Structure 1
Amino acid sequence: MGDGRWSGDDEERRVMGRRRTARWRRAGMRHGHRSARARTAVVAALLLCTTAALPGRPALAAGTPSPYAIAPDARPVAGATDAADAAPLVPGTTYKSSLPSGAKSYYRLDLDATSDAYVSATAIPAPGTSVAAGDGIKVSVQNADGRDCSSGTKTFGVVHTPRPIAAWAAREVSSKRPRCEGAGTYYVLVERIGTAVSAQDTWDLELFATAEPALKQAGATSSPEAWNSTSPEPVTGEGVRRAGGSGFASAAPVGQGVWNSGIEPGRTLVYEVPLDWGRQLSVTAELGGSNGRDGYVAGALNLSLYNPVRGFVDDASTSYNGSQEAVEIGPLPPVAYENRYAVPKRFKGMRFAGSYYLVVHLAADVAENYGDGPLQLTLRLRVGGAAEAGPGYAGEPEPGDVFQVVEGDRWVAAGGGAAGGGGDAAMTVLAVSGIGTGTLVLVVLGVWAVVARRRVGAW
C-alpha cells in the first residue's frame, strides 16, 4: 500500500485499470457522462418492460409503484455474515445486494493512507412491507480490529411507509481518529435497526463507494462561521414540468426555478441538483390540494436531501388533509470543504461540490383517502451564493467526476434539452411497453438517438 494505490485482488486491479483508462478519455469529453446517463435510463426502462413481460415472473399489481430503480450497471455483491468472508467494494463503483432482517452484512474496503472513503447504503423495502417509524438502516466503517471509524443511521420516521432510505459512513484520515489513519483493510457493516415489525422481510440494497483524495495544501480545520442563514423568499414564476427519476442513477436534473410533476401515493421521485463550491441551496416542496375528498394522513409527504456520495443531509415531512401543504429544507450553509468540521450533521453533509439529490416520497396511505391518482407536486429551488474555486485535490476522486459540476449539468438543470432529462426518456419507453418487443426495441433506439442528438447539440 506504500505506493498510494487502492489494493485488492487481480480482478479488482483490472477493474481499476479500465476505470483509469475511462477517466483519461473523459478528460477530453467530460460531457459524455450526461449522455450516458440518458442512455442508461432508456436501457433501464427497456429492461423493466422486457422483464415484466417474461413468463413466470410476477409483476407488480396495477397501481403499485416500483419502489426504486437500482443502477443498471450495479455489480452484484453478497454481504458476508462475518468480516473474514467480506467481499471487496471498490471506490467509484455501485453495487447491488440484499439485507435480511436480523442479519449483519459485511463488506471490505482496501484503502490507502491518504484518501477519505465513503460508503452509502440505500435500503429498498418492497411495496406493502410493514415498517415502523423506528425501523431503518445503520452503516458503519470499521478498522481491522472491528472498531468504528464512523457510523450513520436513517429511519423511516413519521412517514412510516416503505420507501428507499439511505445511510452513510466514512473512513476519514484524521489525527483525531488515529485508529483509522493507516493504509490497509477496513470493513463496512450494514444492518437493520428498530422494531420487529419488518422482521420477516429482506430488503434490497444499493451500495455506492467513493474516495476523496487529500488536499494539495492543508486548509482551515474549522467550519465557516459566517454565512447567510436567513430563509429566502420562495422562487415564483411559471413552472416547468420535470418528471422525477426513480433512483439516484436516474435522477432528473433541476436547478433554480419552479418544477412541476405529478406524484402517486407510494411513489418516490428523485431529482439531481448540481451545486458548485460556494453555492447555497434552499428548496420547498408543495403538495397540491385534492377536490371532492377529505381525510387526514399523518406524515404524508417527505422531502430528503442527499449529497454527492449519497450521504443523508436533511429532511422534512408534513401531514395532509386535502389542502395544499408544503415542506422546506434550508437554508443550508454554502458548499464548502470545511463544512466537514461543523457540529450539526446536516451542515457536515454540505462538504462536496457535485450532484445533490432531492428525494420526494408520498406515503402509500394517501391512497386510502384520496385515491391512486397523482397529486400535483411543485418544487421551488433557490440556489444562492457565488461559485468558488475548489479546495485543490492532490489526486483524482473515484469516480472521477463525483465532486465537480460540469457545464452539461448546469445546462440541463437550467431547463435545456427535453423536459425531465433521463426521467422522461425512461417514461417514453414505459409508455410503449404494451407493444411488441421488436417494435419496442426500434422505439428505444429512436429515443436513444434523439437524446444523443440533443445532448450533442447542447455542446
Structure 2
Amino acid sequence: MGVLLALVALPGRAAADGTTAPGPSGSAAPALWQPRGTPLAGAATTADAPAMRPAVTYQDSIKVGESRFYGVTLDDRASAAVSVFAVPPAGTRVSYGDGLELTLQSPDGDQCDSAEAHFGDDGDPRPVGTAVSRLITGDSSDACQDANEYTLEVHRTSAGTSDPGPWPLELRYVAEPGLTEGAPAPSAPATSADGGATGTASPTPLLVGTPHQAAGGPSFETAAAVRTGIWKDRVLPGETRFYKVPVDWGQQATVFADFSNAQVVDASAYVPGGVRLSAYSPVRELIDGEDKSYQGAPASLGEQLAPVAYGNRAADDDDVAAARYAGWYYFAVTVHPGVAQAVSGAVPVTLRVQVTGTAQPPPAYDGDPSAAGIGVDAHDLASADGTADGGSGTDSGALRFLAFAALGAGTVLLLTLAVWFALARRRPAASADTVTAPPQQPGYGPPGGW
C-alpha cells in the first residue's frame, strides 16, 4: 500500500524516458531528453563497426571532430532507415554550424544516402539529428541494392569556440518490408510545376475548434499524440517539446505553432532563432524546420507536409520524398534558452493541427511494417488525446499508467486487493461471515473492474 501511495504522490508528468516534464503551469527547469536504449560503442573504422538490429534503439556518445561507425546488415528486399540524434547537455555552448553529418555506404564505398543536421543558430543546445536511408528501387543497376553489410558513419562538426565535451547519442534502425512478389510499386503522385506534390496549396492555420490541453514530451518516445484540432501547451526557454500526428496514406498534415506574448523583463534582449518549429517523418528524418526571433511579442510558424504516398520516394524534392510513409509525423517546438533574458517564465504555445485527405489503402507489403512505425490504425487515431501514452489525461489515468509500468499488473492487483480489504475492515460487517467491499472508484482499474 505504501508503494501505491508513493505513486499517487509522484509530482509532475512522468515521461517514459525517465524525465519529469513540467505540467501546463510550467516549472523552474526545462524537461530534457534523456537518451535511452542499448549501449553500443561505435568503432573508429568500418572494419570494427558493431552491428545494429532493426527495431532496436541504441545509445552512444561522440566527441568533437570524431567519426563513429556502425554496421547495418541489409537484404535485397527491405528498405531501411537509420536515425541519429545528439542531445547536448543543458547549458552546453554550441554554434551555428555545430551538428551531425550522417553517411550510409556499401562495403565498396558507394554512398547510399547522406544527410546533415546543424543547430542553425548560436547557443541553442536542443536535440539535433536526422536519418539516412537505403531504398530498394527495383533497378539492379542502382547503388546499394544488394544484400550486404553496410556502414553508417556519424561525424560531429563543431566550432572552435563550442564546448568540447561529448554529446550523448540516440540511434535507431528500422526496416520497411519489401513489396509482395509481383506487386507493382505504387506510382509517384503527380507533381506541380515547381516539382512539389500536387494538392499542396499555401498553408493556412486551423481557426475553428475548442482548444484542448496537450503535454508535449522532451523526446520522440514521449511525444504527445495529437490529431486535427487546436492544442495548447507551455514551453520554457531551453526546452524542446515533441508532438506526433497520425497521418495515413493519401493524407496531408499542416501544423502551425503560435507563440503567444509573454511577460517581458528586458525589451532590449534580441534572440534570433528564439522560437522554432521542426517536422520529422515516422523514421525520424528531418523534413523541414523554421525559426523566428522572439522578444515576447506573438510569433507564428507553420509547416505543411506533402500528401503521404509510397511513390514520393522517387521525388526530386527532399521534403516530398520524406513523406513516403504513413504513420506518426513528429513536430518539435523549441524555445531558445536566450529567451529567458527577454521574458519571464514559459511561453504559451497554440498548435493548430489539421490532417486533410481521404485515407488510401496501404501498399502491398510482404510483411508487417508496424515494427518500423509505418501505418496508421484506429488505435492511433483514438489515442491522439494530447498525452504521451494515449491515456485520459486525468490523474487517475496517469496513476493507472504509472502503476502498470512500474509494478506490473500482478503487483497492482495485489496492492489493490490489500487496499480494498483494509478499507473493508473499517466498516461494520454485514454478517459474521460476510465482508462488504467498498464501491470501486471511477478511473481506477481496467474497464469492468479487475
Superposition TM-score, scaled by structure 1 size: 0.77
Does the 8 A contact of 2:65 with 2:158 survive in 1? no
Map of 2:433 onto structure 1: none
Map of 2:190 onto structure 1: 224
2:145 is matched with which residue: 171, 181, 187? 181
Map of 2:275 onto structure 1: 301
1:375 Cα deviation from its structure 2 partner: 1.2
> In the TM superposition, what whole-angstrom CA distance separates every residue of 1:113-158 from its partner, at most 9, and x where no partner exists?
1111110001111111111111111111111123311111111113
Does the 8 A contact of 1:42 with 1:425 survive in 2? no
1:381 is matched with which residue: 325, 331, 353? 353
1:231 Cα deviation from its structure 2 partner: 2.6
Map of 1:405 onto structure 2: 376
Partner Cα distance (1:387, 1:221) in 2 = 16
Aligned ranges 1:112-123 → 2 under 5 Å = 112-123=75-86
Which segments of 5 or more consecutive residues in structure 2 lack a partner in the other structure? 1-12, 21-26, 193-197, 417-440
2:34 is matched with which residue: 69, 74, 79? 69
Question: Kindly tell me: are residues 424 and 322 of structure 1, through their superposed partners in 2, closer, same or farther at Cα, counting changes over 3 Å?
Answer: farther
Q: Which shows bigger deviation, 100-109 or 176-185?
A: 176-185
Map of 2:426 onto structure 1: none
1:202 is matched with which residue: 166, 171, 192? 166
Q: Which shows bigger deviation, 197-206 or 385-394?
A: 197-206
Map of 2:387 onto structure 1: 420
Map of 2:204 onto structure 1: 233
Partner Cα distance (1:423, 1:270) in 2 = 14
Question: Kindly tell me: are residues 402 and 133 of structure 1, through their superposed partners in 2, closer, same or farther at Cα, counting changes over 3 Å?
Answer: same
Partner Cα distance (2:74, 2:297) in 1 = 52
Map of 1:288 onto structure 2: 260
Map of 1:266 onto structure 2: 238
Partner Cα distance (2:51, 2:155) in 1 = 17
SS in 1 for 2:54: coil
> In the TM superposition, what whole-angstrom CA distance separates every residue of 1:427-454 from its partner, at most 9, and x where no partner exists?
979x99xxxxx9xx79x988x9999979
Map of 2:420 onto structure 1: none
Q: Which shows bigger deviation, 137-146 or 173-182?
A: 173-182
> In the TM superposition, what whole-angstrom CA distance separates every residue of 1:317-340 from its partner, at most 9, and x where no partner exists?
11112111100111x221000111
Map of 1:95 onto structure 2: 58
Map of 1:4 onto structure 2: none
Partner Cα distance (2:236, 2:201) in 1 = 33
Does residue 138 of structure 1 match 2:104? no
The one-letter code of the counterpart of 1:186 is Y
Question: Kindly tell me: are residues 341 and 42 of structure 1, through their superposed partners in 2, closer, same or farther at Cα, counting changes over 3 Å?
Answer: same
Does residue 110 of structure 1 match 2:73? yes
Partner Cα distance (1:361, 1:336) in 2 = 29
Question: Kindly tell me: are residues 138 and 173 of structure 1, through their superposed partners in 2, closer, same or farther at Cα, counting changes over 3 Å?
Answer: same
Map of 1:212 onto structure 2: 176
SS in 1 for 2:383: helix
Tell me the percent identity.
Answer: 32
Map of 1:165 onto structure 2: 128
SS in 2 for 1:346: helix
Partner Cα distance (1:365, 1:115) in 2 = 44
Does the 8 A contact of 1:251 with 1:423 survive in 2? no
The one-letter code of the counterpart of 1:107 is Y
Partner Cα distance (1:119, 1:42) in 2 = 28
Does residue 335 of structure 1 match 2:300? no
RMSD: 3.3
The one-letter code of the counterpart of 2:387 is G
Map of 1:325 onto structure 2: 299
Map of 2:43 onto structure 1: 80
Question: Kindly tell me: are residues 323 and 235 of structure 1, through their superposed partners in 2, closer, same or farther at Cα, counting changes over 3 Å?
Answer: same
Map of 1:364 onto structure 2: 337
The one-letter code of the counterpart of 1:129 is T
Partner Cα distance (1:246, 1:454) in 2 = 28
SS in 2 for 1:180: coil
Q: Which shows bigger deviation, 132-141 or 284-293?
A: 284-293
Which segments of 5 or more consecutive residues in structure 1 lack a partner in the other structure? 1-40, 50-61, 433-437
The one-letter code of the counterpart of 2:283 is V
Map of 2:434 onto structure 1: none
Does the 8 A contact of 2:55 with 2:173 survive in 1? yes
Does the 8 A contact of 2:186 with 2:363 survive in 1? no
Q: Which shows bigger deviation, 355-364 or 167-176?
A: 167-176
Does the 8 A contact of 1:92 with 1:210 survive in 2? yes
SS in 2 for 1:277: coil
Partner Cα distance (2:306, 2:188) in 1 = 14
Partner Cα distance (1:266, 1:278) in 2 = 36
SS in 1 for 2:365: coil
Q: Report the structure number with the largest CA radius of gyration.
A: 2
Question: Kindly tell me: are residues 390 and 68 of structure 1, through their superposed partners in 2, closer, same or farther at Cα, counting changes over 3 Å?
Answer: same
> In the TM superposition, what whole-angstrom CA distance separates every residue of 1:8-31 from its partner, at most 9, and x where no partner exists?
xxxxxxxxxxxxxxxxxxxxxxxx
Does the 8 A contact of 2:264 with 2:342 survive in 1? no
Q: How many residues align?
A: 388
Question: Kindly tell me: are residues 452 and 76 of structure 1, through their superposed partners in 2, closer, same or farther at Cα, counting changes over 3 Å?
Answer: farther
Does the 8 A contact of 2:295 with 2:339 survive in 1? no
Question: Kindly tell me: are residues 367 and 108 of structure 1, through their superposed partners in 2, closer, same or farther at Cα, counting changes over 3 Å?
Answer: same
The one-letter code of the counterpart of 1:192 is R
The one-letter code of the counterpart of 1:380 is R
SS in 2 for 1:205: strand
SS in 2 for 1:370: coil
The one-letter code of the counterpart of 1:122 is F
The answer to which structure has the higher helix fraction is 1
The one-letter code of the counterpart of 2:336 is A
The one-letter code of the counterpart of 2:244 is E
> In the TM superposition, what whole-angstrom CA distance separates every residue of 1:166-197 from its partner, at most 9, and x where no partner exists?
22111222337633111111111111125333
1:309 Cα deviation from its structure 2 partner: 0.6
